[in-house]
Chain A
Amino acid sequence: MERAGPDIIHRSPDNPVVGLHSLDFPSSDICNAGVVKFRGEYLLLITVEALEGPSSIYLAHGTDGVHFTVDQNPFMSPSDDPHFRDGESLGPRDPRVTPIDGTYYIAYLADGDYGFRLALARTDDFLKVTRLDFVAEPDTKNGALFPTKIDGRYALLERPQEGTSIWITYSDDLAYWGSSTVVMTPRAGFWDSDRVGAAAPPMDIDTGWLLIYYGVKLTSAGPLFRLGAAILDKTDPSKVVARSNVPILSPREKYERIGDVGNLVFSCGALLEEERGEILLYYGGSDSCICLGTATVDDVVQACLASSREF
Chain B
Amino acid sequence: MPTGVRRDLLRRWERNPIITVRDVPYRCNTVFNGTPVKLNGEYLMILRVEGQQGYSFFALARSRDGVHWAVELSPCMLPASEEPWKTWEEHGIEDPRLTVLDGKYYILYTAVCAYGYRIALATTEDFTTYERVALISDPGNKDGVLFPEKIDGLYARLDRPFGKGIGRIWISYSPDLVNWGRSKLVLSPRPRYWDSFRLGASAPPIRTEDGWLEIYHGVKMTAAGPVYRIGTVMLDPEDPSRVIGRCVAPALSPREDYERIGDVGNVVFACGAIVEPDGEVKVYYGAADTSICVATCQLDELVDSCLHG
**Contact pattern, A 152-180, Cβ under 8 Å of B = 1, otherwise 0:** 00000010111101010111100111111
* Cβ-closest chain A residue relative to B174: A176
B179 touches A137 (CB 8 A): no
- Which of B23-31, B71-79, B165-173, B199-207 is found at the contact surface with chain A? B165-173
B185 touches A158 (CB 8 A): no
Within 8 Å CB of A177, what residues of B?
179-181
CB distance from B28 to the nearest CB of A (A): 30
With contact pairs A115-B164, A172-B179 given, residues A137 and B173 touching in the complex (Cβ less than 8 Å): no
**Contact pattern, A 208-227, Cβ under 8 Å of B = 1, otherwise 0:** 00000000000000000000
- Which of B95-103, B133-141, B210-218, B291-299 is found at the contact surface with chain A? B133-141
- Which of A53-61, A128-136, A282-290 is found at the contact surface with chain B? A128-136
B176-229 interface (Cβ within 8 A of A): 176, 178-183, 185, 188
* Cβ-closest chain A residue relative to B135: A180
B134 touches A137 (CB 8 A): no
Interface membership of B245, Cβ < 8 A: no
Q: Which of A86, A139, A169, A176 contacts B161 (CB 8 A)?
A: A139
* Cβ-closest chain A residue relative to B160: A137
B136 touches A163 (CB 8 A): no
CB distance from B162 to the nearest CB of A (A): 6
A176-209 interface (Cβ within 8 A of B): 176-182
B138 touches A175 (CB 8 A): no
With contact pairs A138-B161, A138-B163, A158-B138 given, residues A176 and B116 touching in the complex (Cβ less than 8 Å): no
A160 to B179, CA, bound (A): 16
Within 8 Å CB of A114, what residues of B?
163-164, 166, 168, 185, 188
A163 to B137, CA, bound (A): 14
A115 to B185, CA, bound (A): 11
**Contact pattern, B 91-134, Cβ under 8 Å of A = 1, otherwise 0:** 00000000000000000000000011000000000000000001
Interface membership of B279, Cβ < 8 A: no
CB distance from B242 to the nearest CB of A (A): 13
Within 8 Å CB of A137, what residues of B?
137-138, 141, 159, 161, 163, 170, 172, 183
Interface membership of B309, Cβ < 8 A: no
Main secondary structure of the interface of B (DSSP, over half): strand
Interface membership of A140, Cβ < 8 A: yes
Within 8 Å CB of A133, what residues of B?
181-182
**Contact pattern, A 107-132, Cβ under 8 Å of B = 1, otherwise 0:** 00000001111000000000000000
Interface membership of B175, Cβ < 8 A: yes
With contact pairs A115-B164, A178-B134 given, residues A86 and B185 touching in the complex (Cβ less than 8 Å): yes
Residue from B138, B162, B176 whose CB has the most chain A CB atoms within 10 Å: B138
Within 8 Å CB of A163, what residues of B?
115-116, 139-140
A147 to B178, CA, bound (A): 23
* Cβ-closest chain A residue relative to B178: A178
B138 touches A180 (CB 8 A): yes
* Cβ-closest chain A residue relative to B136: A178
A160 touches B138 (CB 8 A): yes
With contact pairs A139-B140, A160-B139 given, residues A179 and B161 touching in the complex (Cβ less than 8 Å): no
Within 8 Å CB of B180, what residues of A?
176-178
* Cβ-closest chain B residue relative to A165: B115
A169 to B183, CA, bound (A): 15
B163 touches A115 (CB 8 A): yes
B134 touches A161 (CB 8 A): no
List 15 extra interface pairs beyond A161-B140, A167-B139, A180-B138, CB under 8 A: A86-B185, A114-B166, A115-B161, A133-B182, A134-B182, A138-B163, A139-B140, A161-B138, A162-B140, A163-B139, A169-B138, A172-B179, A176-B175, A177-B179, A178-B135
